[in-house]
Amino acid sequence: MIDLKGKGAVVTGAASGIGRAIAFALGRAGMKVALADIQKDKVERAAAEARGAGIDAVSLAVDVSDDGSVAAAAHEIDQRVGKLHIAINNAGIAFHGTPLQETSATDWQWVLGVNVLGVINCTRHFLPLIRRHGEGGHVVNTASGSGFFVRPGRKQGAYAVSKFAVVAFSEALEIELAGTGIGVSVLCPGAVDTEIHGSARNRPEHLGGAFERPAEAFLKDLTSQGMAPDAVAQRVMEAIRSDAFYIFTHASLRDPIEARHRRIMAALDRITPA
């Protein structure tokens, strides 16, 4: 998909951080953009700001972990945006500083519900809108560098589980959409300066409500030194235009990913070839 002008896009997690930056970048490229987020007021403000900058933008309240909510959002996109060409399935939450043994059933439901089922629900409901017009399009799923290796010392096992799943889902989707004119990318950033350290403030009531864990506090320092969201958005724009699958933003991910793969290869080397 080279020519974005006049085409339709949806970005989840668009009230803040990476999603907001991608929504603005797509809008500046001439797309009509639906900014979708669970933070209703905040996403309305983001869309109003986008309109102030000359972008054709609407806002939607959605909980990506809730299949019915995403189905309703898809219907609204159809009504308010028209033909959809690009879906950026980006909404996500952090879950750091908690060992697996202390991760409760509710914690798992929240992390996997938003980070994994969120991407799956959005693909299930947004992809048919892209397929319907036959003009092609692109799906971008936000995973993380943590979708390729487990970082020691951060106790982010549940988060890594969720992001590995997004990478696998995206790799499978790419295979299934080959030849359809719909490209797939998976966004795998390192630290980005966003509000992800405040994820717990927006945990829904039915999953235990807002909480604060001192063990997670390091995340704020880590991300505040991170890359600017606009720089990540530029990478995403390049990937959509060149139909690139993996979108990495941090060269520092090379060593840990290589180390993991070397360990896997060494294990394969130890078995006798059939």
Ligand X SMILES: NC(=O)c1ccc[n+]([C@@H]2O[C@H](COP(=O)([O-])OP(=O)(O)OC[C@H]3O[C@@H](n4cnc5c(N)ncnc54)[C@H](O)[C@@H]3O)[C@@H](O)[C@H]2O)c1
DSSP secondary structure of 205-248: GGGT-----GGGTHHHHHHHTSB-HHHHHHHHHHHHHHT-SEEE
> Which residues, at least 6 apart from 100, have a Cβ–Cβ distance to it below 8 Å?
157, 158
**Nearest to residue 65, comparing CAs of 111, 10, 104, 8?**
111
Nearer to ligand X, 118 or 137 (CB): 118
Structure tokens at 192: 């980005």
Q: Min. distance of Cβ 131 from ligand X in angstroms?
A: 23
- Binding status of residue 216 toward ligand X by CB under 6 A: no
Secondary element (H or E) of residue 45 = helix 40-52
Choose the catalytic residue: 24, 148, 159, 169.
159
- Binding status of residue 47 toward ligand X by CB under 6 A: no
Q: Min. distance of Cβ 41 from ligand X in angstroms?
A: 11
Q: Is 159 a catalytic residue?
A: yes
Q: Min. distance of Cβ 192 from ligand X in angstroms?
A: 4
Among 8, 13, 27, 137, binds ligand X (CB under 6 A): 13
In the window 227-266, what residues touch ligand X (CB under 6 A)?
Answer: none
Among 26, 88, 226, 233, binds ligand X (CB under 6 A): 226
Measured over the CA atoms of residue 112, residue 113, residue 119 and residue 124, the dihedral's sign is positive
Structure tokens at 177: 């959409």
Q: Min. distance of Cβ 117 from ligand X in angstroms?
A: 9
Q: Min. distance of Cβ 114 from ligand X in angstroms?
A: 4
- Binding status of residue 87 toward ligand X by CB under 6 A: no
Among 23, 25, 29, 93, binds ligand X (CB under 6 A): 93
Tell me, letter by letter, the H, E, C secondary structure of 89-104: ECCCCCCCCCCHHHCC
- Binding status of residue 37 toward ligand X by CB under 6 A: yes
- Rounded to the nearest 10 degrees, the angle between the axes of helix 157-177 and helix 105-112 is 30
Q: Using CB under 6 A, which of the segments 121-129, 132-140, 189-197, 261-269 binds ligand X?
A: 189-197
Among 8, 9, 10, 12, binds ligand X (CB under 6 A): 12
Among 73, 154, 195, 216, binds ligand X (CB under 6 A): 195
- CB–CB of 209/244 below 8 Å? no
Give the SS3 label for residue 42.
Answer: helix
- CB–CB of 1/26 below 8 Å? no
- Binding status of residue 223 toward ligand X by CB under 6 A: yes
- Binding status of residue 156 toward ligand X by CB under 6 A: no
Q: Using CB under 6 A, which of the segments 12-20, 120-128, 131-139, 150-158 binds ligand X?
A: 12-20
Residue of closest CB approach to ligand X: 92
Structure tokens at 91: 């909404």
Give catalytic residues, as residue numbers: 159
